[in-house]
Amino acid sequence: MHVHHLLNNNSIANKFIAQLRDTSIQNDRMRFRRNIERLGEILSYELSKKLNYSSEEITSPLGISKVSVPKDEIVICSILRAGLPLHTGILNYFDDAENSFISAYRHHPNDDKEFEIKVEYLASPSIEGKTLVLADPMLATGRSFVNVMHALKEMGTPKEIHLVAVIGAEEGLKLLDDEFPPHTHLWIAAIDKELDSRGYIVPGLGDAGDLCFGNKKQH
Ligand SMILES: O=P(O)(O)OC[C@H]1O[C@H](OP(=O)(O)OP(=O)(O)O)[C@H](O)[C@@H]1O
Ligand SMILES: O=c1cc[nH]c(=O)[nH]1
Ligand SMILES: [Mg+2]
């Protein structure tokens, strides 16, 4: 897997990540969602550098201009819930992409720290031979990305896979590296060292779905 780590270089993205993590700012839900969306835009810009381009002659009012434009058939697939604002950011840039939505949530069967990932809802076009952009802001254990990719198999085999995340933990990156094809790209803003005993990223930002949309009842 090719890992592209945005915060390796200083940019305005640092400020958006700082605001997502900051307990004195992150409870402003509109800003929280918009910061995820802004990072979706920045990560999409970076990702666009690895797409396939072909030259087109564009007619302007004063002449002809040769421009290289991306030609890939993109399907953006987001993992509900927290993937929604990231999806909006990615779609802001790849505005003619097809779209796919899939749900994944942590189910705690015994009311303890153990959980399984439930994938229940999928609405998707075919991804056969297309460029799949799979988005979820949090990459903790990596099990949501892996289970979702498994569920997407019935939609075909993509030509290229780009995973987009905002904050990841090293353990999750390792699982993706083991489970995804070697040519997969991961576009990620920040990488943290650890998970806590409940599988939350430390320092991370807390629960991204709840910060976007409010608490949900555990079931
Ligand atoms: O890498 P993992 O260990 O699978 O964890 C990451 C997942 O956890 C969060 O979802 P959550 O289950 O909290 O659902 P939500 O988005 O509805 O809050 C997050 O949005 C990811 O989908
Ligand atoms: O740190 C984490 C881990 C999973 N899901 C989140 O929203 N945050
Ligand atoms: Mg959540």
Q: Determine whether 14 is exposed, middle or buried from the number of CB atoms within 10 Å of its CB (0-12, 13-18, 19+).
A: middle
> pLDDT tens digit string along 3-54?
999 988 999 999 999 999 999 999 999 999 999 999 999 999 999 999 999 9
Q: Which CATH number fits domain 2-213: 3.40.50.2020, 1.10.3210.10, 3.30.450.20, 3.30.1370.10?
A: 3.40.50.2020
Q: Which residues line ligand 1 (CB under 6 A)?
A: 79, 81-82, 104-106, 117, 136, 138-144, 172, 199, 207-209
Residues whose CB is less than 8 angstroms from the CB of residue 25 and which lie 6 or more positions away in sequence, other chains included: 19, 31
- For residue range 47-81, list pLDDT tens digits in order: 999 999 999 999 999 999 999 999 999 999 999 99
- State which ligand 2 atom lies nearest to the alpha carbon of 200: 1
Cis peptide before 203 (omega within 30 of 0): yes
Residue appearing with tokens 């918009």? 34
What is the residue extent of each domain of the chain? 2-213
- Ligand 2 pocket by C-beta < 6 Å: which residues? 82, 138, 140, 200-201, 204, 207-209
Residue of 113, 205, 128 lying closest to 165 (CA atoms): 205
Number of C-alpha atoms within 13 angstroms, CB side, residue 77? Answer: 30
